[in-house]
Chain A
Amino acid sequence: AQSVTQPDIHITVSEGASLELRCNYSYGATPYLFWYVQSPGQGLQLLLKYFSGDTLVQGIKGFEAEFKRSQSSFNLRKPSVHWSDAAEYFCAVVPWYSGGGADGLTFGKGTHLIIQP
């Protein structure tokens, strides 16, 4: 079965500094890859997704992610964080053969981002 690892439970970044959140997946083939963000007490919002093609994916709110097949990674980056970026971030994968249904989504356990003034 596929699995998703987000190695960092908490990350603290100063406002204006760059950010990288790590995501590694365990799977035999290239899955579909997603990053979601969750504000406290709220639902999840999709930041970006990768299905195929260019391995550098641009998303909303100035985020980007790079798929590296050799490292089974899909790390999320932002060049300069804002206090409003403080939230929980989830990486998720779906096997390409699942038929496309989101019931195949496997989520990582999340990374809590704290922004220091």
Chain B
Amino acid sequence: DGGITQSPKYLFRKEGQNVTLSCEQNLNHDAMYWYRQDPGQGLRLIYYSQIVNDFQKGDIAEGYSVSREKKESFPLTVTSAQKNPTAFYLCASSIGWGDMNTEAFFGQGTRLTVV
């Protein structure tokens, strides 16, 4: 079955440590996205990538980094510079660019807790 896989589902990190969240898709989508979700805040865009080896900052990119070396994969690193990293992180993908291609498909999310 085609879809988006995020791992792990739960992640605990000590303060001051970097941690990487995995996102893999087998939908053959060009575009991939990372969102952060906090209670009562909706979803906020962290980074997005329209094509391999290219990515752009979203609305809240500070303290995060990404890479897009393969079409299928878009890992997100939460660095120690992120002041409030505890949140639910959602990865999404869409076919690509152009009209009618705005539908985003979401993974099941990773809940990150800093202890």
Q: Mark A residues whose CB is within 8 Å of B.
A: 9, 32, 34, 36, 41-46, 49, 51, 90, 94, 96, 98-105, 107-110
CB–CB B109/A104 < 8 A: no
List the interface of chain B (C-beta within 8 A of A). Answer: 4, 6, 31, 33, 40-43, 45, 48, 50, 56, 58, 90, 92, 94, 96-109, 111
Across the interface, A44 reaches (CB within 8 A) one of B31, B45, B58, B90, namely: B90
Closest Cβ neighbor of A49 among chain B residues:
B103
A46: which B residues are within 8 A, CB to CB? 103-105
From A34, A41, A103, A107, name the one whose CB has the most chain B CB atoms within 10 angstroms.
A103
Cβ–Cβ < 8 Å partners of A34 in chain B: 102-103
The 4 closest A-B pairs by CB, nearest first: A43-B106, A109-B42, A107-B42, A103-B48
In angstroms, Cα B48 to Cα A94, docked, is: 15
Contact between chains at A102 and B31 (CB < 8 Å): yes
* With A44-B90, A110-B42: A103-B31 Cβ-Cβ less than 8 Å: yes
The reply to whether B56 and A103 contact each other, CB–CB distance below 8 Å, is yes
* A107 neighbours in B (Cβ, 8 Å): 42-43
Contact of A101 among B6, B97, B107 (CB under 8 A): B97
User: Is there contact, CB below 8 Å, between A102 and B109?
Assistant: no
How far does the alpha carbon of A36 sit from the alpha carbon of B105 in the complex, in Å? 10
**Which residues of chain A have C-beta atoms less than 8 A from B45's C-beta?**
103, 105
Nearest-Cβ distance from residue A6 to partner chain B, whole angstroms? 8
A45: chain B residues at CB < 8 Å are 106
CA distance in complex: A108, B33 (Å): 17
Contact B100 A51 (CB under 8 A): yes
CA gap between A93 and B105 in the complex, in Å: 15
Asked whether A99 and B42 contact (CB < 8 A) given A44-B90, A49-B103, A105-B102, the answer is no
Closest approach, in angstroms, between the C-beta of B26 and any C-beta of chain A? 15
Would you call A101 and B42 a contact (CB within 8 A)?
no
State the CA gap A42–B33 with chains docked (Å). Answer: 16
A1 to B107 Cα, complex, angstroms: 27
Residues in B with CB closer than 8 Å to A41 are 109, 111
> Smallest CB–CB gap between A8 and chain B, Å?
13
